[in-house]
Structure 1
Amino acid sequence: MLKKHNLSILGLLEVKVRVDLVDRLMETKFPGMSFFHNFLLWENSRILVMWDSSVVKLDLVDMSAQEICVRVTCLLTHRSFEASFIYALNTPVERRLLWDSLKSRGEGISLPWLLLGDFNCVRFPHERNGGAPIAPREMVDLASCVSQLELSDVNHVGCFFTWFNSAISSKLDRFMVNHLWHQSNLNVFSEFVAPGCFLDHVLL
């Protein structure tokens, strides 16, 4: 993906690499790339963010078991924005820590903000197909966070449902931006590519 799309920044979720092997992985597979990870904050390797430091500068804003937030500065244009790479935990109680953290940071943010990744819950009832009906309480925390931060989903192409098993399809993965992003004239869109043989999520 880095070579095909000439990417300057790449975020990987659920990497499944032991923390003692991540440096070797980066040296052998992604030489020259700088990186952040939150592998020490949870029992599973969760979020790995890498970037080409000759093209962009990334400064760490915040890190938790569910998020890596960075300030991105283009070295050519010197324009900056914040980006949150998200891999939310499985239960509503665990995810509430993420929503509270995002809402707290959003109160003082002065830059365009992009939030992307696996939110591990749907925003609307029609974003799940199959399985038991969705209880409103499963959506209310994300809805409250989106409303308070004035977030909106960006335009996308590709798959609508982004997670699959034998009985259920759900839109768990998304790209969202704050109102300052729309005012900044920054371009963004998302593409959700169908999963491969070993994935139950689409590629973002």
Structure 2
Amino acid sequence: MPKVACMHKLRLKTWKFVSNAEAAAYARIIVFWNPETVMVEMLHFSAQGIHVLITSLVQQFCFSATFIYGFNTITARRALWEDLRRWGTEDLWLLLGDFNSILSQEDKHNGEPVSIYETLDFRECCSDLRIADLNSTGSHFTWTNGTIWTKIDRVMANPQWLSLQQMTHVHFGTPGAFSDHSPSTV
């Protein structure tokens, strides 16, 4: 039995899930939810992202969310930036996950200096979509190999989300406790 189906059957019996397994050799992203509190509609998916419409059944609040797991190379990630541009919406939009890309030198500690080539595609995508990081606390650097620390995991939003009267806050835990990435809580 595949691991996802096993988790679903044994631990999250009443929960539903979607994955991007059809777009990749294996599921790189899996999104679980409790159907008693949230309704999720898959809008688009690719090897690097899942774009959904989420409705809170408790608060009758609806927004788009894109879950991201970017490829490891600059050229392979270019398809992700194009996907995001295609999926962009004027509705409330939250983007979160492992972008596997940094925006500036401040997003890296140790290792080789950051080049414009490394940041250009992601920066242009953020500018085109007008997306920005949400306010956060905790670890600035969200990934480490023990020598180099970078901020590659993010929770971002579009201007419509950022203009909400309610403040959305993200907390990034310390990378390395259970993974080489930081856990995040929104």
TM bracket, shorter-chain basis = over 0.9
Gaps of 5+ in 2: none
TM-score, normalized by length of structure 2?
A: 0.93
The amino acid across from 1:43 in the alignment is: A
Cα distance in structure 1, aligned partners of 2:45 and 2:165: 27
1:62 paired residue among 29, 44, 67: 44
Partner of 1:189: 169
Partner of 2:137: 157
Cα distance in structure 2, aligned partners of 1:187 and 1:33: 28
Pair 1:197–1:76, CA change in 2 (3 A): closer
TM-score, normalized by length of structure 1?
A: 0.85
In the TM superposition, what is the alpha-carbon distance from 1:104 to its structure 2 partner? 2.0
C-alpha RMSD of the superposition: 1.5
In the TM superposition, what is the alpha-carbon distance from 1:197 to its structure 2 partner? 4.4
Residue 87 (structure 2) pairs with residue 96 (structure 1):
no
The amino acid across from 1:166 in the alignment is: G
1:32 paired residue among 3, 14, 17: 14
Give 4+ residue runs of structure 1 displaced > 2 Å after superposition: 39-45, 182-187, 195-198
In the TM superposition, what is the alpha-carbon distance from 1:192 to its structure 2 partner? 0.6
3-state DSSP of counterpart to 2:137: strand
Following superposition of structure 1 onto structure 2, how do residues 163-182 of structure 1 map, counting pairs within 5 Å?
A: 163-182=143-162
Partner of 2:59: 77
Gaps of 5+ in 1: 1-18
2:113 paired residue among 113, 118, 133: 133
Contact 1:80 1:111 in 2 (8 A): no
- What count of residue pairs does the alignment treat as equivalent? 184
Question: Deviation digits for residues 12-61 of structure 1, max 9, x if unmatched?
Answer: xxxxxxx8332122110212111001134323431110001110110001
Cα distance in structure 2, aligned partners of 1:150 and 1:39: 29
Moved more, 35-44 or 24-33: 35-44
Residue 101 (structure 2) pairs with residue 121 (structure 1):
yes
3-state DSSP of counterpart to 1:61: strand
Partner of 1:52: 34
Cα distance in structure 2, aligned partners of 1:129 and 1:43: 33
The amino acid across from 1:20 in the alignment is: P
Partner of 1:111: 91
3-state DSSP of counterpart to 1:62: strand
In the TM superposition, what is the alpha-carbon distance from 1:129 to its structure 2 partner? 0.6
Question: Deviation digits for residues 143-165 of structure 1, max 9, x if unmatched?
Answer: 00100111111011110100001
Contact 1:58 1:73 in 2 (8 A): yes
In the TM superposition, what is the alpha-carbon distance from 1:102 to its structure 2 partner? 0.7
3-state DSSP of counterpart to 1:145: helix
Contact 1:81 1:113 in 2 (8 A): yes
Cα distance in structure 2, aligned partners of 1:59 and 1:187: 25
Partner of 1:16: none
